[in-house]
Amino acid sequence: MFPSWFRLTVETTMLGLEAQTVIWTRMTQIALGQGSPAENLRMVTEKIAAFGEAATIIATGGTAHRVVKGYRRKVRANIKRLRR
């Protein structure tokens, strides 16, 4: 129904909004003294792993849509975990 570029634009915009929710939640927890060293380590290591996964997808002929879909899945999982 929608052109491919429009879907990618919407998905990328949603990824940005969802990522901001994770950032806000993590920063709030840190400011309130509820952050943990394990969560801080997780922030860094999950970004490295996600980059590697995205690079692999692109290197094997995958699309930007697939990369964004994977990132959104991980970000939504973070939102769910951090809100518990």
- Where are the domains positioned within the chain? 36-84
Stated as kind and residue range, the H or E segment containing 52 is helix 37-59
Residue 1 scores a pLDDT above 70: no
Query: Sign (positive/negative) of CA torsion 22, 73, 81, 78?
Result: negative
Mapping DSSP to helix (H, G, I), strand (E, B) and coil, where does residue 4 land?
helix
Say if CB 68 and CB 8 are below 8 A apart.
Answer: yes
Confidence band for 8, pLDDT divided at 50, 70 and 90: very high
The predicted-structure confidence for 12-54, as pLDDT tens digits, reads as follows: 999 999 999 999 999 999 999 998 899 889 999 999 999 999 9
pTM over 0.95: no
What's the mean pLDDT in 47-68? Answer: 96
Q: What is the pLDDT of residue 3?
A: 87
